[in-house]
Structure 1
Amino acid sequence: MKIFFTLLITCVLGLNSLIAQNKSETDRERDGLRGAIKKVETYLVDFLPQGDVIVEQKRPWIINSYNVKGNRSEQIVYLQDGRLHTDVYIYDAEGRNIECRTYSNATDKNS
């Protein structure tokens, strides 16, 4: 009887662990997005007074791209001094993040 309860508890804990692994959230879900979103662009907006009129100027700030499985494939950040910071995420066949390549400028990406 003691062996039966030990096996039962082991099976329940193992099954719970297996279910938790299958319900892992994607980056897209963690970012609060639903559906097949490919790209999210975030802009900074400045409101500048020009005489009696307020002019709206927007500039890109962060661009997140997602792959088909919902994992982030690239993040581009536009810094205030005009430089770009890019992270490219590499995944294995099972969808696990295995590498993140970081580039400090767009020119670094091609070299």
Structure 2
Amino acid sequence: MLDIQANGSGTVEVAIRGELEMQHAPQLRESLLALLNRGDVTGVNLNLAAVTLLDATGAGALIVTHRIATNRRVALRITAVSVVVVQILTLVGAADLLPV
């Protein structure tokens, strides 16, 4: 579900595949918060192109992580999305918060 790769320049690439819903959202949130807590991460690029299901819990995990990253001055960017992700982020009013 989660593939994390550091590129050595402070930016981490995170690819998420499959379902990002109530069952998997806590794992994503914990993994992303662990990255933000490392202290050497200046950017996180999220590739959501392979996400097949996103519910309100998954969207909430993305929104909370974005807010925490912003407070810590870590750039969190969505670099690729699936149609499902665009639809749900738009529906919950988060399309502008998370640049899609």
Higher relative contact order (CA 8 A, sep 6+): 2
TM-score higher than 0.5 here? no
- Greater percentage in strand: 1
TM-score by length of 1: 0.23
- Greater percentage in helix: 2
